[in-house]
Structure 1
């Protein structure tokens, strides 16, 4: 005879909602096990003389809920097998709160392990706490609904346009974690609903409180949940990526903006570069709001380019995201796999090895690739020179000492001076390029990013020239009315500021 475990649901706690079939099964069973006796229906079992054993002691002897659930499943399997050898009825009943298939991890474990161990498993119904939530809180799940776990809540699961029920909010600590996660999307004062023992006469409590007061409540327990009603408020939708995607799609649609609709990859080239540089400028400011704004402008460029391709049925932004996610997972095996990287240098080695393997899979012979390939063609000149020199240095094509680099810079300067006197514009441009290239090499030997040095020089010039303009204005003059000597004197003043 095959051992048999029957799982039944004790419902939400209202005796009148317990199904007739489950009640008949409970009355006849000889071996009844409860996940916990901390449930209103247990009083009915006791009044009717129905014997049971609970697994509550396992909650005290294990640190994690996962360990408790594994231990319960293991003991149930053992008891089911023992029931045959003890000449007892081969069928045992395992009763859980609510519905066996709603937020009940032990049942999910049994579904996996019973077939492996030759044990028959039957799952019967039961009233879920969700039935009472729909009734007592008064919302229809057809409007859009999601059920989330309060002990493992993530911002990535939240969607303000869905009714959200968060279960397993057992205590104040869990409520506090839930609150902090919700605050990443919802305003502190956003109204939420907390329900305790919904549908249980004499025990039901429903609180409507602002989000920031969620963990101020003190009556959390096994039958507690949090409900955040669905909302189409712009202040919530505008904090979601889906809304951004929707807006860009509308802008590019026939009913959208004529300017956005006309844009192409080529027409937006300059915008992408300019927005990236505007982000860089914010790194030197102490203005997080401005940085957030400029990062948004840069993100818009990515969204527009992806939408242009989506309009051509080529790819969409979800493909962009999937490709990026897959690449990040693949190139970080020391984080998401079994590889090990003790420091950033080892992580970079892993990254480069994986990049090489990706090229091989695309049919590219990496051994035949030019060493200097992979440096983007459109990089700014100083940055591109720096990267080219750095790549060449990896095979020993480099100067040995700083003094040698300084000599090259001086030599290139002399050649430019000669070109200015006797050579054509084209030759002068060539010599100027050589000088700039040698200065980049000097920056590399000094371990200074040439673009950053240039940016600092530009900022310094902007500030000092602004000082000249300001001082002239204080004297009742403008730039056109000042002579070079006067401006030079103010420039020297600015250098001292």
Structure 2
């Protein structure tokens, strides 16, 4: 049996009786592993004495021998599982973690499914978590959304901020144990739209009498202090809607509001997929112009206009019960993952040409493409003539329809022109034949 117990936020008096009994009982033979003894409950008797006597196996050494937190957690889980498996069906192993085992504890999140897979029975002995202790210190009543996030997962260089940073509701960020983590947290929040001077609260030693404190400071000062440690968290109040950067979901909501059948915009309500076709083309051309201009602000604006067309069509389809914006996003994400097996799978490539070849091979097997009989199938009929000719040329080149120099191209052009002229000069030439030669 593997018993996973919580140590609470730090106050020895908050340790539940069952957990206290397991940690102090000297009559029953059991192995007790502790993720870290850097926890205030081990500073108080009788746990301090038990620690000195070697009653607990501290796993702190894993933090020194591994390069990343991910490696640390993996090593701790593997070690606990080895001990639990070695104890057999009759043995008892205890694994103690700070706070509540099921709140913000990465090792337990990994441990439970792996123990189940190995047939090791588990039970949870809970304790107050840092969440309750922090809310008590802040005197904050939560009646709506509360986002609890591991600050170590915030990467200010990620392509986009985590979704939780862009949604409504306050946030409690834990494991802000150093200035580096505080800096990443600050930058991630700023990138998500929080103003530089937005007030946040630094929480230290929540739930530990005589040591707990809260410090309100502007966001830009979050990493300027020297006292971050393993008991540091950050409270981020709800960002008012008026100050929040709009998200893609809000764009979808605005479009739905404009199309509201009773009080929407008259012009937007009149539109259809057909009526919007010219605007899609127009906005795409304006994006190209913005790229050519070299003006990033203009490009950003024009990309927004083009994105509006995507959302507009998705809203129309949603009203028809066909698909919606979420389906559009799902489709393109799945397509990108599927067509990049060298990134998301086991395929290896040697260069861009091989990537393109794989892309085309995968594309040919997908729904809607597998039944194409001709190399020229799938060229959009709405393409302008020159673009259609260019796409046709690109495709036929792949099967050898090309010439080594311009002379061959000119000879072919003369030949095709002669065939067109011959058809035109025939009195009985059908229009279809003339059109075919003109093509």
TM-score, with structure 1 as normaliser: 0.76
Aligned match of 1:424: none
> After alignment, is 43-52 or 155-164 more displaced?
43-52
Instruction: Establish whether residue 58 from structure 1 lines up as the match of residue 62 from structure 2.
Output: yes
Q: CA distance change for structure 1 residues 48 and 64 in 2, over 3 Å: closer, same or farther?
A: closer
Aligned match of 1:376: 380
Instruction: Establish whether residue 37 from structure 1 lines up as the match of residue 37 from structure 2.
Output: yes
SS in 1 for 2:109: helix
Q: CA distance change for structure 1 residues 58 and 46 in 2, over 3 Å: closer, same or farther?
A: farther
1: distance between equivalents of 2:401 and 2:84? Answer: 74
2: distance between equivalents of 1:397 and 1:66? Answer: 54
Aligned match of 1:122: 123
8 A contact 1:34–1:55 mirrored in 2: yes
Note the aligned Cα RMSD (angstroms).
2.9
> After alignment, is 107-116 or 301-310 more displaced?
107-116
Aligned positions of 1:314-393 closer than 5 A? 314-359=322-367, 364-366=370-372, 369-393=373-397
Aligned match of 1:243: 250
1: distance between equivalents of 2:86 and 2:259? Answer: 68
Gaps of 5+ in 1: 417-426, 438-497
Pick the structure with greater CA Rg: 1
Deviations 1:260-289 (A, max 9, x none): 111101111111110111111111223211
Q: CA distance change for structure 1 residues 25 and 315 in 2, over 3 Å: closer, same or farther?
A: same
Aligned match of 1:477: none
Using CA pairs below 8 Å that are at least 6 residues apart, which structure has the higher relative contact order? Answer: 2
8 A contact 1:151–1:174 mirrored in 2: yes
Q: CA distance change for structure 1 residues 128 and 399 in 2, over 3 Å: closer, same or farther?
A: same
Instruction: Establish whether residue 185 from structure 1 lines up as the match of residue 182 from structure 2.
Output: no
TM-score, with structure 2 as normaliser: 0.85
Aligned match of 1:136: 137
> After alignment, is 397-406 or 176-185 more displaced?
397-406
Aligned match of 1:226: 234
2: distance between equivalents of 1:223 and 1:27? Answer: 24
SS in 2 for 1:183: helix
Aligned match of 1:13: 10
8 A contact 1:160–1:230 mirrored in 2: no
> After alignment, is 340-349 or 387-396 more displaced?
387-396
Aligned positions of 1:51-200 closer than 5 A? 51=51, 52-80=56-84, 90-153=91-154, 155-157=161-163, 158-186=165-193, 187-200=195-208
2: distance between equivalents of 1:81 and 1:347? Answer: 45
Q: CA distance change for structure 1 residues 286 and 207 in 2, over 3 Å: closer, same or farther?
A: farther
> After alignment, is 163-172 or 294-303 more displaced?
163-172
8 A contact 1:237–1:243 mirrored in 2: no
Pick from 8, 14, 19: which aligns with 1:22? 19
Count of residues in Structure 1 that have an aligned counterpart in Structure 2: 412
Instruction: Establish whether residue 297 from structure 1 lines up as the match of residue 305 from structure 2.
Output: yes
SS in 2 for 1:253: coil
Gaps of 5+ in 2: 156-160, 421-430
Higher helix share: 1
Q: CA distance change for structure 1 residues 266 and 99 in 2, over 3 Å: closer, same or farther?
A: same
- 1:106 Cα shift? 2.4
Aligned positions of 1:210-289 closer than 5 A? 210-238=218-246, 240-254=247-261, 255-289=263-297
- 1:82 Cα shift? 5.2
Aligned match of 2:398: 394
1: distance between equivalents of 2:92 and 2:352? Answer: 58
1: distance between equivalents of 2:24 and 2:360? Answer: 67
8 A contact 2:41–2:47 mirrored in 1: no
